[in-house]
């Protein structure tokens, strides 16, 4: 039943149009990763307060980042149709979103490290798959910032930290 829900998004992602694009896919990957980590915590949580707190923190991150699946495309469409200073302003706005997305991914990684030892072995594969989705999202943020840096003529200071966390 999910393939019908995702089909339009995937068709739009592959189409020759500005939205959705890489930033949207990075946000979706982060939300997917967090969801898998949450699933692993849900199957593992007993009275472990660290896992309970981690689950709540991950939910806040996911709720914030899910909006970026559409917001990234909205900003990029404005970037494509603008010129001059407005175009640069939208590119900077895009960078801000990508930096926040990357920082959110780092937070998710840090939270995951704190709960990993309590994850049941029967669900650990979902946990690690989720963590890999989070790192994939972070890696996508690096590529996006690197591309934007070439246009802006200035390397974003977050790229190095993002690469380290992403394992790049």
Residue 54's pLDDT is what? 85
Residue 3 lies in a domain: no
Q: Is residue 7 part of a domain?
A: no
Could you tell me if residue 97 is inside a domain? yes
Distance CA 120, CA 37 (A): 12
Domain assignment present for residue 142? The answer is: yes
Is 10 among the domain residues? no
Identify whether 8 is part of a domain. no
- Average of pLDDT values for 125-132? 98
Taking only the tens place, the pLDDT of each residue in 3-21 is: 988 999 999 999 988 788 8
Residue 6 maps to a domain: no
Cβ-based neighbours of 21, under 8 Å, separated by 6 or more: 13, 72, 73, 76
Q: Whole-angstrom Cα distance, residue 99 to residue 144? A: 10
Domain count, the chain: 1
Domain limits at 24?
Answer: 20-166
Q: What is the mean pLDDT of the chain?
A: 93
Does some domain include residue 13?
Answer: no
CATH of the domain at 64: 1.20.120.680
Angle of CA points 65, 68, 136, to nearest 5°? 70
Per-residue model confidence (pLDDT) at position 55: 87
Kindly report, residue by residue over 71-96, the tens digit of the pLDDT. Answer: 999 999 999 999 999 999 999 999 99
pLDDT over 90 at 53, yes or no: no
pTM of the model: 0.93
Q: How remote is the C-alpha of 52 from its chain's centroid?
A: 22
Give the chain's end-to-end CA distance (angstroms, integer). Answer: 35
What 8-state DSSP symbol labels residue 118? G
By CB atoms closer than 10 A (0-12, 13-18, 19+), residue 54 is buried
């Amino acid at each position: 039943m999910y393939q019908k829900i995702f089909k339009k998004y995937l068709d739009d992602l592959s189409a020759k149009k500005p939205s959705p694009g890489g930033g949207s896919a990075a946000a979706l990957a982060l939300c997917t990763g967090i969801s898998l980590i949450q699933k692993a915590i849900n199957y593992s949580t007993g009275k472990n307060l660290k896992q309970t707190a981690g689950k709540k923190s991950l939910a806040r991150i996911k709720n914030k980042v899910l909006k970026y699946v559409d917001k990234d495309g909205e900003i990029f469409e404005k970037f494509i149709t603008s010129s001059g200073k407005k175009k640069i302003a939208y590119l900077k706005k895009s960078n801000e979103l990508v930096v926040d997305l990357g920082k959110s991914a780092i937070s998710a990684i840090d939270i995951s490290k704190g709960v990993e030892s309590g994850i049941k072995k029967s669900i650990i594969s979902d946990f690690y798959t989720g963590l890999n989705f989070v790192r994939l999202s972070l890696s996508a943020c690096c590529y996006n910032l690197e591309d934007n840096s070439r246009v802006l003529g200035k390397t974003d200071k977050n790229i190095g930290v993002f690469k380290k966390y992403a394992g790049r």
